[in-house]
Structure 1
Amino acid sequence: MTRMASPYGVHGGSTYTPRTMSTAEAVPAGVDDAVNSQILKVSEDRIQGFHRYPFRTIAEDSGVDLDTVLERLRAMVEAGTIRRIRQTLMATSLAPGALVAWKVPQDDIKATFDYMFEQDPFSGHVVTRTTDRETPGSQYKLWTTLKVPKPYDMDAHCRYLMTKTGAQGYRLLPAKKLFALGVGHVRRRTIEPGEKTDEPGRVLDTKIVDLTDREWRILMALKREFAPAEIVEDPWVARAAEAGETIEDFCEVAASLNERRVIGRFSTFLEHVKKHSDGTQVTRYNALFHWRVPEGEQLRAGQEVGRHHCMTHAYWREGGPEFADVNIMGVSHGTDKERVLEHKAAIDAHLESVGIPVSYTNVFWGGRSEIKPSEISPIAYREWCAREGLDPADMTA
């Protein structure tokens, strides 16, 4: 491997030495900077699978030189523009999961939110949601994502969380199918209502893949987010050592997991709700759309929703009577509420145009929101049980 000279030291290593900059020399860290935008249009969602040199791939695909990519990504992480950089996993293939709607008294929502985000490593997205009027399910004002690795049980986990919080009830909404999406927030800002792919969204199954302890150890090192000092040309050397592997063996196992569709994308995740240090905000509105389509049409409807560029997620989830029997759900973000509703109206019209009638629909608007990667390892679950004073056997189905 050729090692390249840089003001940050040798890129082939696992650390860098930051240079001292005056205010005038400060590296731009906002999403509206032209170079940063060029990088983010690639780094948010276009680096699919495992790459031996992921930052080099970002540089090649964005047309920005590697030194600048490394410098700008470090600056955006340090400024909070990017909330994390990490290798994502196909968590739906590694641990059973669900969207969880929680019924929490208004006075207890803040404390319950804080506990889910700060104390439960298996809850990922934590969002408060409201509707524009009283509707089926509008009493569920706190929503989380949850992953509980086998052989442990999501219901047992939720019942335990109820003992630690003000939650009075919950509804598990596991995904039957997921529909592949992939437009990052930076590119999504210019999307017009109705813009979609030529082909229906790709269907992703939720079948769990069994892994060995060694594979779990490598995955845990692989998925941990990168600190600024770890944003170097060859980031996997240190992670291989962390997992007790040679770099060759580490990458060989990672490549095999990639072939088994356990690996997601290498991604830079923007802070898309809170304001950045330069005052910009990637998005202001986070909308969870609900649709009820005829029985038997869920798969086709999910693919038609999933082809729309405005969507960040789309799922087949059965809402049950609490949510008026909706069966397709998806999330869209935007800076203008009316624009978000225009995107939804375009999807509604498209579903009707392809012969999928929508008999009920709703929007749950996001309020306070925090996101962290969910733990998915059974090793991590046993360690959590020990910290909580729980018998792991009591947390199985």
Structure 2
Amino acid sequence: TDTISTGSDYKLWTTVKVPRGFSLEAHCELLAKKVGAERFRLMPAKGIFTLGVGHVRRKTIEPGSKADKPARMNPVQMVNLNEGEWDVLLALKREFAPEEIRPSPWVARAKEAGVSGEQFFRIAEELNARKIIGRFSTFLEHVKPSAGGVRVTRFNALFHWAVPHGREIEAGGEVGRHHILTHCYWREAGPEFKNVNIMAVAHGTDKQLLLDHKAAIDRHLRACSIPVSYTNVFWGGRSEIKPSEISPHIYRDWLAHQSKS
């Protein structure tokens, strides 16, 4: 944050996942030891209103620009996959090597998953319909300049709002409908963060413009008669993006390797 405020002593924020059957708490304890963290706080998402990319096209969005209706919340929940679905999901999720970027890149991935191209696409569509596929992106780095020296973004803003208990879905829907946002979640932050429960992320090259977007969202919440007892902005500096591992087999191997290192 720009100033000392509630929660500003937490300097590293990240999203973590572990496969079903493993502990987030134990995972973060391991990471804390690795990086020498004094403490950490888990804030599991209860619902997701917005999750996407599109940093470049968002550069021209005006403050206050929003969808015609509130964002719909997708509740966070456990899902069961059969072996064939796991094979396709892992083939879908793994990053492309440069030499794989060619016409019909999924043909080789379907073969890897042990299914035909038609089966691969059918299962992928089913996974997507079940909201298991989060997003695809050819751009994951937020701050580093491109090969041509152009920065896609310079500022990563994390917006916080504390709204009354029982109005989280309503408030998240009104916040999440704003086009500038790449993420919007319902997370319970607790007393250390003045009971913030709605969080959203926006990226840009102009810090004041991001603040203008935040002000427009604040005005919209007031217009909707949604009380906000506390709000804040956290600014991200350097960012490194890497998808979390969700395969139980790969994660188990990783844990075994960590125990030896």
TM-score range, shorter chain: over 0.9
Q: Give the C-alpha shift of residue 296 in structure 1.
A: 1.2
Q: Partner letter of residue 230 of structure 2? A: Y
Distance 2:52 2:27 in 1: 31
Distance 2:257 2:205 in 1: 41
Give the alignment partner of residue 36 of structure 2, picking from 150, 166, 171: 166
Alignment match, 2:75: 205
Q: Are positions 1:319 and 2:180 aligned together?
A: no
C-alpha distance 298-254 of structure 1, shift in aligned 2 (>3 A): same
* Contact 1:291-1:329 at 8 Å conserved across structures: yes
Which protein is richer in strand relative to its size? Answer: 1
Q: Give the C-alpha shift of residue 293 in structure 1.
A: 1.0
Alignment match, 1:225: 95
* Contact 2:161-2:198 at 8 Å conserved across structures: yes
C-alpha distance 259-160 of structure 1, shift in aligned 2 (>3 A): same
Q: Partner letter of residue 232 of structure 2? A: N
Q: Give the C-alpha shift of residue 182 in structure 1.
A: 4.7
SS in 2 for 1:362: strand
Give the alignment partner of residue 287 of structure 1, picking from 140, 144, 157: 157
Q: Partner letter of residue 214 of structure 2? A: K
Q: Mind listing any 5+ residue stretches in structure 1 that lack a counterpart?
A: 1-130, 391-397
Distance 2:13 2:97 in 1: 28
Q: Are positions 1:275 and 2:156 aligned together?
A: no
Cα RMSD after superposing both structures: 1.6
Q: Partner letter of residue 106 of structure 2? A: W
Q: Give the C-alpha shift of residue 183 in structure 1.
A: 6.3
Answer 1 or 2: higher relative contact order, Cα 8 Å, separation at least 6.
Answer: 2
Identity of aligned residues (%): 62
Distance 2:123 2:62 in 1: 41
Q: Partner letter of residue 190 of structure 1? A: T
* Contact 2:50-2:182 at 8 Å conserved across structures: no
Distance 1:170 1:144 in 2: 11
Q: Partner letter of residue 304 of structure 1? A: E
Distance 1:226 1:346 in 2: 38
* Contact 2:142-2:239 at 8 Å conserved across structures: no
Alignment match, 1:368: 238
SS in 2 for 1:389: helix
Q: Give the C-alpha shift of residue 250 in structure 1.
A: 2.4
Q: Are positions 1:344 and 2:242 aligned together?
A: no
* Structure 1 residues 333-365: Cα deviation after superposition (integer angstroms, max 9, x where no partner): 111111111110010011001001211111110
Give TM-score, length-normalised by structure 2: 0.94
Length, aligned pairs only: 260
Distance 2:140 2:246 in 1: 22
Q: Partner letter of residue 80 of structure 2? A: D
Distance 1:332 1:255 in 2: 29
